[in-house]
A = this chain, B = another copy of it.
Amino acid sequence: MIRINPHYKKLQASYLFSDIAARISDFSQKNPDTEIIRLGIGDATRALPAACIAAMHEAVDEMGQDASFRGYGPEQGYAFLREKIAEHDFAARGAQIAADEIFVSDGAKCDTGNFQEILATETRVAVPDPVYPVYVDTNVMAGRTGAFQDGRFENIVYMPCTRENDYLPDLPDTDVDLIYLCFPNNPTGTATTKQTLSKWVDFARQNKALILYDAAYEAFIRDETLPRSIYEIPGAREVAVEFRSFSKTAGFTGTRCAYTVVPKECRAFDKNGSPEMLHPLWNRRHSTKFNGVAYPVQRAAEAVYSEQGQKQVKAIIDDYMKNADRICREMDALGYSYAGGKHSPYIWVDARTDSWNFFNALLEKTGVVCTPGAGFGPCGSRYIRLSAFNSYDNVDRAMQRIRKALG
């Protein structure tokens, strides 16, 4: 008799975005003349950089001729892209990462979700609260948790990030094996310093733990002294895997390209405590269950690193950050405490009330959509997330409406 994976039954239905959609729909019916301004979902709104478009057209033409057609590429990505990544994203920042330590994929969500597969089921997992739900749900599916109780899964170590600790997780005071970190953070928008990150690398080394470091939002960092990669920290190569994405950097949310870095020295252990390198294990997983990213998409990603591409990407990010500045100014003027918005497209606002109540009030009074923090964990229940992914005009009008309604 074929049986299901029983752990799937522990998953909580993900109502957040469908609940939001239902409430917007209800509001629109009652207020047909109010234009909705969406500052909820973190999805790119600006066109792909012109350099990427040109590169993709060229690659599509290659695919249209027998002589230049490309079939299966290397599962790990073409050398032309892996080499550009190693040079621009790591060597240029003083982080030594070789091209063959980079695994090109179709998304950081997939990679952060898949990576746990090469680790033991008995792994003790630590996550921030609030947190990107994929980190937790994929570990639930793998059978690493108990039941869901009071908003949290048993056997997961939650690390609260609230106004009280500047939204930065404290080092766990219990045994943990696998630690998920995300900087600049989704949803709180907080960035981290080299000093703080060093503390985590040291912890992982001392406790034989592994860090899964999600740096999908590194392009939004505006202070050059802040680390963009965990490999800027000495000793990180042994204890950290890093996830990067072109989604938020260059607007690839609908084009799909990302990468994962697994340094050759990065280790876990076998049951006898002997080190086992993760690079060959991930390589085996990646080449067995994945067939590479579309050739035209890899060419588009490569174009991000061209001189024109770099200028165009910077201009897009600068525009989104003007939106973030506009939101921060308004929150300052209204006297709201918040995190993020300086090195991140997200502004995490202390709503001083239940996040769904605030969401409803904001929608009713202004037609502006935010994301209720409760969707990211119990520690988010008093906060809301505002996203800078929109046009400046929309953001400015949203802020004017908010000032009028809440000021």
Residue ranges of A at the interface with B (Cβ–Cβ < 8 Å): 1-6, 8-9, 11, 41, 43-48, 50, 53, 56-57, 60-61, 63-66, 69-73, 106-107, 109-110, 113-114, 117-123, 134, 137-138, 141, 177-178, 207-210, 251, 253-256, 268-271, 273, 276, 278, 281, 284-285, 288-297, 391
Evaluate contact between B123 and A2: CB separation under 8 angstroms. Answer: yes
Evaluate contact between A3 and B268: CB separation under 8 angstroms. Answer: yes
Number of chain copies forming the complex = 2
Contacts beyond the supplied A113-B289, A141-B288: 6 A-B pairs with Cβ under 8 Å:
A2-B120, A3-B120, A43-B71, A109-B290, A253-B291, A297-B297
Evaluate contact between A281 and B56: CB separation under 8 angstroms. Answer: no
B residues less than 8 Å from A256 (CB atoms): 106, 291-294
Determine which residue in A46, A208, A210, A296 has the highest number of CB atoms from chain B within 10 A of its CB, and name it.
A296
CB-nearest residue of chain B to A106? B106
Evaluate contact between B296 and A56: CB separation under 8 angstroms. Answer: yes
B residues less than 8 Å from A41 (CB atoms): 72
CB-nearest residue of chain B to A50? B64
Determine which residue in A9, A63, A109 has the highest number of CB atoms from chain B within 10 A of its CB, and name it.
A63
Evaluate contact between A294 and B255: CB separation under 8 angstroms. Answer: yes
Evaluate contact between B71 and A64: CB separation under 8 angstroms. Answer: no
| A8-B118, A53-B64, A251-B69 as given contacts; A1 in contact with B141, CB under 8 Å | no
User: How many Å from the CB of A251 to the closest CB on chain B?
Assistant: 7
Evaluate contact between A2 and B61: CB separation under 8 angstroms. Answer: no
CA distance A121 to B276 in the complex (A): 24
B residues less than 8 Å from A293 (CB atoms): 256
B residues less than 8 Å from A210 (CB atoms): 2
CB-nearest residue of chain B to A8? B281
Q: Could you say which of B56, B72, B114, B290 contacts A253, with CB atoms under 8 Å apart?
A: B72
Q: Could you say which of B47, B53, B110, B178 contacts A2, with CB atoms under 8 Å apart?
A: B178
Evaluate contact between B271 and A3: CB separation under 8 angstroms. Answer: yes
User: How many Å from the CB of A58 to the closest CB on chain B?
Assistant: 10
Evaluate contact between B289 and A208: CB separation under 8 angstroms. Answer: no
CA distance A278 to B234 in the complex (A): 46
Evaluate contact between B2 and A269: CB separation under 8 angstroms. Answer: yes
| A48-B64, A63-B47, A70-B254 as given contacts; A208 in contact with B294, CB under 8 Å | no
CB-nearest residue of chain B to A209? B2
CA distance A4 to B391 in the complex (A): 45
| A4-B268, A53-B64, A269-B3 as given contacts; A295 in contact with B255, CB under 8 Å | yes
CA distance A35 to B110 in the complex (A): 42
Evaluate contact between B208 and A268: CB separation under 8 angstroms. Answer: no
Q: Could you say which of B4, B117, B141 contacts A5, with CB atoms under 8 Å apart?
A: B117
Evaluate contact between B120 and A6: CB separation under 8 angstroms. Answer: yes
